[in-house]
Amino acid sequence: MIISVHQAQYLPWLGYFHKIFSSDAFVFLDDVQYKKREYQNRNRIRAKDRWIWLTVPVTADRNPYPVFSDVYVDNSQDWARSHWKSLYLNYAKAPYFERYSGFFEGLYRKEWRRLLDLNIEIVSYLNSVLGIEKPVRLSSELDIKTQKTERILDICEALGADTYLSGGGGRDYLDEEKFRKAGIRLVYQDFEHPVYRQLHMKDEKDFLAEMSIVDLIFNHGPGSMDILLGGKSG
């Protein structure tokens, strides 16, 4: 059994969903310290000739930062209307925008209290769009108190996993010897970002990589999963 773990990201990029697809089960790390200035509360979309950030304002300014499940959305700022407007202005002419826009319009009409709930709602919907059907757990449900490599190993043990799929960045902090001693196979994600047709793209040299996956689904709809797994866009 292969598992992977990650904090819940906002409008994640393609590699995030490739990781979920490549696993037998996926764990949201909701009881670890929130990482500021990463992708938990922001991501990028394509505008006409550049990319722009969509950032959810949060009340997580204290140091040390709270655990992820205790990070709250700052609804004193009109971020939701701004994000919906940015998606509409930049993707309304994309081939499949109308097919998926209803979810996002409804999403931004709700008042979200916790960032975790907002992100999980988005990831769950995008999994369904891509046809990814994998069991998903919250790490807080497993009641694991260890940290770093030991935490990952304990999650593997709790779920009966024999293989852990890590992102490439895991090479910088995972203790590979501890995986060997525990009898858990450690595999690093092998994801090659595809080039696909984007709205406003003139040619392949104009392609902008590492956008939110909404860029892919608005442009390619039902063909998005094939492209994500290395296929070519039409």
CA distance 213 to 216: 5
Rounded CA separation 127/115 (Å): 18
Q: What is the pLDDT of residue 202?
A: 87
Position 231 scores a pLDDT of 56
CA atoms of 39 and 25, how far apart (whole Å): 21
> 116-159 pLDDT, tens per residue?
999 999 999 999 999 999 999 999 999 999 999 999 999 999 99
CA gap 145, 15 in Å, rounded? 28
Nearest one of 169, 118, 156 to 16, comparing CA atoms: 169
Domain boundaries along the sequence of the chain? 2-228
DSSP reduced 3-state for 136: strand
Instruction: For the beta carbon of residue 175, count every other beta carbon within 10 angstroms.
Output: 14
Helix (H) or strand (E) holding 6: strand 2-6
Pairing mode, strands 51-55 and 42-46:
antiparallel
- Radius of gyration over every alpha carbon of the chain, rounded to an integer in angstroms: 18
Strand segments (E) across 14-117: 25-28, 42-46, 51-55
Closest residue by Cα to residue 12 from 130, 170, 161: 130
* Alpha-carbon span 108 to 75, nearest angstrom: 11
Peptide bond into 64 cis (omega under 30): yes
pLDDT at 72: 95
Q: What pLDDT is attached to residue 233?
A: 44
Low-confidence ranges of the chain (pLDDT < 70): 61-63, 231-234
pLDDT on residue 215: 98
User: pTM to 2 decimals?
Assistant: 0.94
d(CA 50, CA 143): 43
